[in-house]
Amino acid sequence: MFLSMEHLNKTYPGGKVAVEDFNLEVEKGEFVCFIGTSGSGKTTTMRMINRMLQQTSGTIKINGKDISQMDPVKLRRKIGYVIQNIGLMPHMTIRQNITLVPKLLKWPQDKMNERAKRMIKLVDLPEEFLDRYPSELSGGQQQRIGVVRALAADQDIILMDEPYGALDPITRESLQDLIKDLQERLGKTIIFVTHDMDEALTLATKIVVMDSGKIMQVATPDEILRHPANEFVENLIGKDRLIQARPSITTVGQVMLKNVAAITPDKLLKEALKMMHDRRVDSLLVTDDGGTLKGYIDIEDIDYNFKTATSVGDVMHEDVFYVKSDSLVRDTVERILKRGFKNIPVVDNDHKLVGIVTRAALVDIVYDALWGDEDKKDDSEDTKTSAAAADQGGDAK
């Protein structure tokens, strides 16, 4: 494990518990977002990684080595550090700022110059900026420099403490793209503290939700949207985002009907007809004894072949269209609708029949996605109108 944090606790003098039994394993190249409200302990936890804060108990290991055994100064030179207020040195040029850590590591001047040029190219800023001072750059440009300053000495881990909190939304978005791209391209491991769920969902490969010093949930963005661990996480994500996310993350398995009429190929057509009649359906799915989907048979097939054939297996269609239960509705709904089938069989990964999707269920999904929000709006307008009516009534008196 690249970075592991075990049973971390942080209690401030006076008994205030900032972090409680924090456990996390981070692989190399992961983009981990710590998210929570203020006072949730996310920044405190992050600052323990480069020993800006000392944990009360617990261990942090990088590449298996306990960081409390390392020289904190040397440790920090190996860990990139980006803070919300950017923290560029105002009395140093951009070049000096970028090469601050390399200089501490006593790199030769040529190597530092070459690195400064490469770094500024990395964030799409012109080379002339190297000799400017931070106050001559815009906030967004300054934070770009803040980001490469944390990369310039080949740091493998980058800690970022709400780095974009003070930037306007457009600048923030472009910097999010930049860091995501850099992270993927350079294979850096990033620990990113934020209180913005959109930011976490966009950037993270792993989200750590914290509240009052405790971990609420550790999961991928998809998982968190699909299965928020508790009410706190749900609230943090927000109802709007959950509703929006539903059509995109709902799987076929979640909307299918599970009670399916199926028949085995060895059954007689007579039995098939009886089954259709009993269940009031015009077609049946055919599965073998193990439940594996083989095909389908409908009433016309039985009608045409009743005299010549005897068993279901003789007349069934084998070219049955089906969908997998774990595929996303978003990806399948269009295909299903285009084909014009009434019912689509759903199979699991072993090709076993597990359910069907009816067109009625699909209509519900499409309806929710398109009109769900507007329904609510209509409701609130209704109440407004009635309230207005009541007002008028009052005036009349």
Partner 1 sequence: MMHFLSVYGLSLLGKTWQHIYISGISLGLGTIVAVPLGIALTRTKRTASIVISIASMLQTIPALALLAFMIPLFGIGAKPAIIALFIYSLLPILRNTYIGMNDVDPTLKDAAKGMGMTGWQSIIKVEVPLAAPVIMSGIRLSATYVIAWAALASYIGAGGLGDFIFNGLNLYRSDLILGGSIPVIILALLVDWVLGKVETALTPQTTEG
Calculate the alpha carbon distances from 207 to 84, 175, 191, 203, 241 in Å.
19, 19, 10, 9, 16
Residue 50 touching partner 1 (CB under 8 A): yes
Residue 290 and residue 268: Cα distance in Å, rounded?
19
Residue with tokens 């297996």: 313
Q: Does 100 bind partner 1 (CB under 8 A)?
A: yes
Residue list 267-326, contact with partner 1 (CB under 8 A): none
Give the residue with the Cβ less far from partner 1, 149 or 246.
Answer: 149
Least Cβ distance, residue 122 to partner 1 (angstroms): 18
Closest contact distance (angstroms) between CB of 168 and partner 1 is 20
Q: Which is nearer to partner 1, 135 or 308 (CB)?
A: 135
CA distance linking residue 343 with residue 338, whole number of Å: 12
Among 7, 16, 91, 270, interactor with partner 1 by CB under 8 A: 91
Q: How far is CA 140 from CA 82, 123, 146, 147, 164, in A?
A: 13, 11, 10, 11, 9
Q: Does 89 bind partner 1 (CB under 8 A)?
A: yes
Name the residue nearer to partner 1 (CB basis): 146 or 295: 146
Which of 86, 136, 97 lies closest to 120 in space, CA to CA? 97
| Residue of 17, 75, 245, 299 interacting with partner 1 (CB under 8 A) | 75
Please identify which residue in 73, 170, 387, 396 interacts with partner 1, judged by CB under 8 A.
73
Does 107 engage in binding with partner 1 (CB under 8 A)?
no
Over the window 131 to 160, marking each residue x when it contacts partner 1 by CB under 8 A and - when it does not, the resulting string is xxxxxx------------x---------x-
Taking CB under 8 A as the rule, does residue 87 contact partner 1?
yes
Interhelix angle 239-249/329-339, rounded to 10 degrees, is: 50
* For partner 1, the closer CB: 133 or 341: 133
Number of residues forming the site for partner 1 (CB under 8 A): 28
Cα 147–chain centre separation:
23
Q: How far is the CB of 131 from partner 1 (least distance, A)?
A: 7
Question: CB of 77: closest distance to partner 1 in angstroms?
Answer: 3
Distance in Å, CB of 89 to partner 1, minimum: 6
Nearer to partner 1, 52 or 273 (CB): 52
Q: Report the DSSP beta bridge partners of residue 161.
A: 83, 193
Local structure of 297: helix, strand or coil: strand
CB proximity list for 262: less than 8 A, separation 6 or greater: 284, 285, 286, 287, 291, 353
Tell me which residue of 187, 193, 196 sits closest to 208, measured CA to CA: 193
Q: How far is the CB of 132 from partner 1 (least distance, A)?
A: 6
β-strand pairing of 157-161 with 79-83: parallel
Q: Judged by CB, which is closer to partner 1: 88, or 256?
A: 88
Shortest distance (Å) from residue 45 CB to partner 1: 15
Can residue 74 be called a binding residue for partner 1 (CB under 8 A)? yes
Q: Are 152 and 162 in contact (CB under 8 A)?
A: no
- String marking each residue 325-364 x if it binds partner 1 according to CB under 8 A: ----------------------------------------
* Shortest distance in whole angstroms from residue 51 CB to partner 1: 10
Tokens at 125, concatenated: 């800023």
φ and ψ at residue 293, rounded to 5 degrees: -65, 130
Residue 328 sits at φ, ψ, to 5 deg, of: -80, 140
Task: Point out which residues bind partner 1 (CB under 8 A).
Answer: 50, 52, 73-78, 81, 83, 85-91, 100-101, 104, 131-136, 149, 159
